[in-house]
Amino acid sequence: MRKYCRLAGLLCCLMTHSIASAQSVVFIDPGKSDEIYWVTAAHAMESAARSLGMHLDVRYAERDHPRSMDIEREIAALPVGKRPDFAIVTNDYATGPELLRILDGAGIKTLFAYSRILSAPELVDAGRPRARFKGWLGSLEPRAEDAGYLTAHALITRARAARAFGSDGKLHLLAIGGDRSSTTSILRDAGMRRAAAEAHDVMLDQEVFAGWTRDKAAEQSEWLFQRYPDARLIWAGNDLMAFGAMDTWEKRGGMPGKDAFFSGINTSSAAMEDLRAGRLSALAGGHFMCGAWALVLLYDYAHGHDFADEGLELERPMFMLFTPAEAERFTARFGDTDFSQIDFRRFSKILNPKLKHYDFSFAQLMR
């Protein structure tokens, strides 16, 4: 059955190939070219592109917002024949509307991945997909709130079990968020707050923003630990910030996972390692696949199956909460950021006409 399927897919692929040449996609990677999360994301996308027979060009903005704009302008300035068909961009630091303006002017269709245009001023600027900017196809993003909620909930459960109550009988939680403006950060924090609010024995002492970096998280946690001596729960918006806070805790003579509990988001090998070692009490990840999933959407769109039937602004669960065992399995399977064993055609509606809903959860890749 699977063989048939593959054959059909291949045929299909060949057919579409004969109809139109392979779709070319450019991905403006907001991260640095050595930043593990964004490199992993790019690798996953490359695997997906290969798997789907698309041409992918990854450009790193190196966390320099004006640079992403420059890259867009460069692309828009290319001769018409050399311009990519699609661009996958992120809405980091509210650069979205301006990116849209550039790309739409150049006739390049744009899909937001990872983060979308969300805030009111941005919406005033950009409107809705396929309205003011016709080439703005829509957006696909992980349900970032999940990540915050899953990790915070697991963290609280773990701490409660370890009876890490403060003198007032409450679990004192400190939150180290990424930044104040990006959608991802806002939503992850919201998930964390939802979990904290649900638990009546949790006191969220303070929330700070460490800019996603380990050093600043380490520095801020130093202050926080002094400010809140009762705090034993440290929630972090990513893995690096969790590491920073753990560094500080250890420096103060504590033992992460024993006398204080930390949670992080991401699937870096270091995070997986800490999870297995028990130093990290909760870890969620899998959203790095968002770009690869976006390619699946574009593949279907290019071949005549518009994802509009599921909505233009898709927000899908992509996170999974890893257990130490799953961490081990993840490392074994994807530890070298090689995702070539994943057959992305399985998720295409064009190639799988029976598929009614896109399922982008990471858990299915771990089975």
Asked whether the beta carbons of 296 and 351 are under 8 A apart, the reply is no
Contact region with other proteins (CB under 8 A), list: 34-42, 102-110, 221-229, 356-364: 221-229
Q: State in angstroms the smallest separation of the CB of 177 from other proteins.
A: 10
Q: Report, in Å, the least distance between residue 229 CB and other proteins.
A: 10
Q: Is 47 in the site for other proteins (CB under 8 A)?
A: no
What are phi and psi for residue 83, nearest 5 degrees? -70, 145
Tell me the chain's radius of gyration from C-alpha atoms: 21
Interface region with other proteins, contact rule CB under 8 A, candidates 31-39, 112-120, 160-168, 205-213 = 205-213
| CB 180, min distance to other proteins, A | 9
Contact window for other proteins (CB under 8 A) among 107-115, 204-212, 230-238, 342-350:
204-212
Using CB under 8 A as the binding rule, whether residue 219 contacts other proteins is answered as yes
Position 140 contacts other proteins (CB under 8 A): no
Going from the C-alpha of 107 to that of each of 73, 80, 87, the distances in angstroms are: 12, 9, 10
Cβ neighbours around 113 below 10 Å, total = 26
Please choose, out of 146-154, 213-221, 246-254, 265-273, the segment that lies near other proteins by the rule CB under 8 A: 213-221
Helix (H) or strand (E) holding 221: helix 214-227
Among 209, 288, 307, 334, binds other proteins (CB under 8 A): 209
**CB-CB contact of 116 with 142 (8 Å):** no
Number of residues in contact with other proteins under rule CB under 8 A: 11
Least Å distance, CB 227 to other proteins, is 6
Q: What residues from 292 to 311 belong to the interface with other proteins (CB under 8 A)? A: none
253 binds other proteins (CB under 8 A): no
Query: Which of residues 40 and 221 has its CB atom nearest to other proteins in the complex?
Result: 221
Residues 49 and 56 sit within 8 Å (Cβ to Cβ): yes
Q: What is the DSSP letter of 79?
A: -
Please state, in angstroms and rounded to a whole number, the distance separating the CA atoms of residues 253 and 218: 14
Residue from 12, 208, 270, 365 in contact with other proteins (CB under 8 A):
208
Q: Which of 16, 51, 139, 220 is close enough to bind other proteins by CB under 8 A?
A: 220
User: Which part of the chain contacts other proteins (CB under 8 A), choosing from 38-46, 79-87, 220-228, 296-304?
Assistant: 220-228
Query: With respect to other proteins, which residue has the nearer C-beta, 73 or 252?
Result: 252
Cα(315)–Cα(299) distance, integer angstroms: 18
Binding to other proteins by residue 68, rule CB under 8 A?
A: no
In this chain, which stretch among 9-17, 130-138, 216-224, 291-299 interacts with other proteins, using CB under 8 A? 216-224
What are the phi and psi torsion angles at 139 (to 5°)?
A: -150, 155
Q: Does 128 bind other proteins (CB under 8 A)?
A: no
* Longest alpha-carbon distance in the chain: 71
Length of the chain: 367
Sequence-ordered list of residues with C-beta below 8 angstroms from that of 81, at least 6 positions apart, any chain: none
CB of 147 to other proteins, least distance (A): 22
Q: Is 248 in the site for other proteins (CB under 8 A)?
A: no
Residue carrying structure tokens 């638990």: 199
Write out the two tokens for 311.
């909505």
Distance CA 40, CA 20 (A): 29
Binding residues for other proteins restricted to 224-243, rule: CB under 8 A:
224, 226-227
Give the burial string for 168-200 (b: 16+ CB within 10 Å, else e).
eeebbbbbbbbbeebbbbbbbbebbbebbeebe
Binding site for other proteins (CB under 8 A): 206, 208-209, 216, 219-220, 222-224, 226-227
